[in-house]
């Protein structure tokens, strides 16, 4: 198959505070794309490559200041983009990632209080798409790799905290108090407000099937999947 015959790649991300209930819906979405005949690259952040997974372990468990956290997150992201995301999109895969840059703005920016503008600078540096770098002056957004769609699981922080009490041994973020998660949720809302065309808000404070129906409706509205594979 020639490059012109390859299907167009799709970059889809799932976001939300810890406890929002993304995991089962990510796998269900991936299976729906597979059932429709698409090749799927299922990945996560931080992580997705051997190097990024090592950085993930540091980020989730080692104490560090907010700037160091942001730098580690973006270092992992750069390797993830170069090694996994960009090659998969180039060959026409559907790339589904559990978190991407919005999480860094939400957790390190809003949660930790790190400077939002500095995160924007790191985003511009790390997510520059090599094939588009020459367009940066005229089309700055075109030179930055962003998801085609971000499915945001919006859940009240108090509900998320309640769900996490029965979860596995928490990492350093999952162990944060409710006020931290309320701030993180506000960070996601800020990102969604800045890019409404990219975000699809999901009311995650309802039953699993009701949440899935919202996700299915979004994917169908995009024209990416038909009802038959979304049941």
According to the annotation, is 22 in a ligand binding site?
yes
Whether a cis peptide bond, with omega within 30° of 0, leads into 46 is: yes
pTM over 0.85: yes
According to the annotation, is 98 in a ligand binding site?
no
According to the annotation, is 20 in a ligand binding site?
yes
Structure tokens, 66? 């907010």
Cβ–Cβ contacts within 10 Å for residue 6, how many?
13
- Would you say 154 and 17 are in contact if contact means Cβ atoms under 8 Å apart? no
According to the annotation, is 16 in a ligand binding site?
yes
Res 130: pLDDT: 64
CA distance 216 to 177: 32
Res 143: pLDDT: 78
CA distance 23 to 96: 11
Tens place of pLDDT per residue across the chain (231 aa): 545 566 799 999 999 988 778 888 999 999 999 999 999 999 999 999 999 999 999 999 999 999 999 999 999 999 999 999 999 999 999 999 999 999 999 999 999 999 999 999 999 999 987 654 554 444 455 578 999 999 999 988 788 767 766 656 677 887 788 788 899 999 999 999 999 999 999 999 999 999 999 999 999 999 998 887 777
According to the annotation, is 134 in a ligand binding site?
no
According to the annotation, is 18 in a ligand binding site?
yes
According to the annotation, is 97 in a ligand binding site?
no
Show me where the domains of the chain are located. 10-222
**Angle in degrees, CA 196, 201, 206, rounded to 5:** 170
According to the annotation, is 111 in a ligand binding site?
no
CA distance 19 to 94: 25
């Amino acid at each position: 198959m020639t490059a012109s015959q390859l299907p167009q790649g799709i970059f889809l991300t799932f976001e939300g505070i810890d406890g929002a209930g993304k995991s089962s819906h990510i796998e269900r979405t991936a299976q729906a794309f597979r059932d429709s005949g698409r090749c799927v690259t299922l990945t996560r952040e931080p992580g997705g490559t051997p190097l990024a997974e090592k950085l993930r372990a540091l980020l989730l468990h080692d104490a560090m200041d907010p700037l160091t956290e942001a730098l580690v997150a973006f270092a992992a992201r750069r390797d993830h983009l170069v090694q996994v995301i960009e090659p998969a999109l180039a060959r026409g895969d559907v790339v589904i990632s559990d978190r991407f840059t919005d999480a860094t703005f939400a957790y390190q920016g809003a949660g930790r209080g790190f400077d939002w503008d500095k995160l924007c600078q790191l985003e511009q540096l790390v997510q520059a798409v090599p094939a588009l770098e020459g367009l940066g002056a005229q089309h700055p957004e075109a030179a930055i790799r962003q998801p085609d769609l971000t499915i945001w699981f919006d859940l009240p922080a108090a509900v998320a905290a309640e769900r996490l009490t029965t979860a596995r041994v928490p990492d350093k973020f999952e162990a944060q108090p409710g006020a931290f998660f309320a701030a993180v949720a506000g960070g996601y809302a800020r990102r969604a407000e800045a890019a409404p065309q990219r975000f699809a808000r999901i009311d995650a404070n309802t039953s699993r099937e009701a949440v899935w129906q919202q996700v299915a409706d979004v994917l169908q509205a995009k024209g990416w999947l038909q009802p038959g594979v979304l049941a």
